[in-house]
């Protein structure tokens, strides 16, 4: 028979352990990150950077996104679920720069700081945005395109969407730079492939069929750029200059083989890392810069193996 004192002591120990566990859960810094998707290697690199920061700072993160970058409603559901779990902060990469604003207002009213990453929202609710300067990066892509086609001719854009901040800025950054600096280059069309390489392939084939005298195409993200490469290959088009955005194995292979002239690479690991770092600072009441510029580079066959470039490319 156990003594009454032993039983009471055991119950007391169990109660203390339960209370300690509850206190630990209450003290835990939990930061969910809701991204634009998972289908591109880019997002896996962002996740890797976010996890690096979480491990370094001793916080818990989750990282999720919809199956593809057209699923705005699904992303909003994910954001609502993240908010319902009472996080200390939220990282959010918006598929639609306005659709999430009502939920972001709820988070703001609850004192939960929002860190936008990759793609901002049309609101001042996020305390910070960790992103590439996409207008400047796409402008550089336009400069490289102009250089490659000799400053004259016809070009097109295959963009990933017209609702996210990245889609808008990369399209406008390219088109506006051409208009401002290169009067002898005409942007004949901007088409949208939803960031999906299969849809972008079909869009590219349609553009090439309608414009047999085209000189170049700019693809605004990983899926768009690979779709352009595939479309060109499937039609057997030769002599077309392709400039891409992001990296990934397929783009790197296309550049090494000469199918693609070059591409803009972001710093996806840095985007993920800086998002979590900024979220922790906001939770602690520290000042956080409104914009965290994570940088970009242009790479081609001449510098793809340069250590500085290789460090921000991903497979």
Share of the chain residues as helix, strand and coil, in percent rounded to the nearest 5: 50, 15, 35
φ, ψ at 89 (rounded to 5°)? -160, 165
Give the Cα separation of 166 and 86 in Å (integer). Answer: 28
Largest CA distance in the chain: 96
Question: Could you tell me which residues come within 8 angstroms of residue 17 by beta carbon, excluding any fewer than 6 positions away?
Answer: none
Tokens encoding 156: 């097109």
pLDDT beneath 50: ranges in the chain:
1-2, 4, 6-25
3-state DSSP assignment of residue 220 = coil
Predicted local distance difference test score (pLDDT) of residue 263: 98
Instruction: Give residue 315's pLDDT.
Output: 73
The label of the residue with tokens 């004949």 reads 188
Q: Are 241 and 215 in contact (CB under 8 A)?
A: yes
pLDDT score, position 121 = 86
Q: What is the pLDDT of residues 185-237, one digit of tens each?
A: 999 999 999 999 999 999 999 999 999 999 999 999 999 999 999 999 999 99
3-state secondary structure of 118: coil
3.40.50.150, 3.40.50.2300, 3.30.70.920, 3.40.50.10170: CATH of 134-265: 3.40.50.2300
**Nearest-angstrom CA–CA distance, 310 and 282:** 32
Does the pTM surpass 0.85? The reply is: no
- Indicate the CATH number of 10-131+268-294 among 3.40.50.2300, 3.40.50.10540, 3.40.50.300, 3.40.50.1000: 3.40.50.2300
Please write the tens of the pLDDT for every residue from 156-173. 999 999 999 999 999 999
Q: Report pLDDT for 23.
A: 36
Residue with tokens 């370094």: 56
Instruction: Specify the domain boundaries for CATH 3.40.50.2300 within the chain.
Output: 10-131+268-294, 134-265
Q: What is the DSSP letter of 311?
A: T
Residue 219 is predicted with a pLDDT of: 98
DSSP 248: -
Whole-angstrom Cα distance, residue 292 to residue 205?
Answer: 37
How far apart are the C-alpha atoms of 156 and 60, rounded to whole Å? 43
């Amino acid at each position: 028979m156990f003594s009454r004192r032993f039983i009471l002591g055991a119950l007391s120990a169990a109660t203390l352990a339960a209370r300690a566990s509850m206190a630990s859960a209450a003290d835990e810094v939990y930061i969910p990150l809701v991204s634009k998707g998972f289908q591109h290697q880019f997002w896996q690199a962002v996740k890797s950077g976010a996890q690096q920061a979480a491990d370094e700072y001793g916080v818990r993160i989750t990282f999720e996104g919809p199956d593809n970058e057209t699923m705005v409603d699904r992303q909003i559901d994910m954001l609502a679920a993240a908010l319902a779990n009472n996080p200390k902060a939220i990282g959010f990469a918006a598929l639609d720069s306005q659709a999430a604003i009502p939920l972001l207002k709820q988070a703001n009213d609850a004192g939960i700081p929002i860190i936008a990453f990759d793609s901002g929202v049309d609101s001042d609710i996020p305390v910070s945005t960790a992103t590439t300067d996409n207008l400047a990066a796409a402008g550089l892509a336009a400069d490289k395109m102009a250089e490659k086609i000799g400053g004259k001719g016809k070009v097109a854009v295959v963009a990933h969407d017209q609702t996210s901040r990245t889609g808008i800025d990369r399209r406008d950054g390219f088109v506006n730079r051409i208009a401002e600096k290169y009067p002898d280059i005409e942007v004949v069309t901007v088409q949208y492939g939803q960031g999906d390489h299969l849809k972008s392939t079909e869009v590219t084939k349609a553009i090439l069929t309608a414009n047999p005298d085209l000189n170049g195409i700019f693809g605004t993200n990983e899926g768009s750029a690979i779709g352009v490469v595939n479309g060109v290959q499937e039609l057997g088009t030769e002599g077309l200059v392709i400039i891409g955005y992001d990296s990934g194995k397929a783009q790197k292979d296309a550049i090494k083989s000469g199918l693609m002239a070059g591409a803009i690479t972001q710093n996806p690991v840095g985007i993920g890392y800086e998002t979590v770092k900024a979220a922790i600072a906001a939770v602690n009441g520290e000042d956080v810069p409104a914009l965290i510029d994570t940088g970009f580079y242009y790479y081609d066959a001449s510098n793809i193996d340069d250590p500085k470039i290789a460090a921000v490319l991903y497979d």
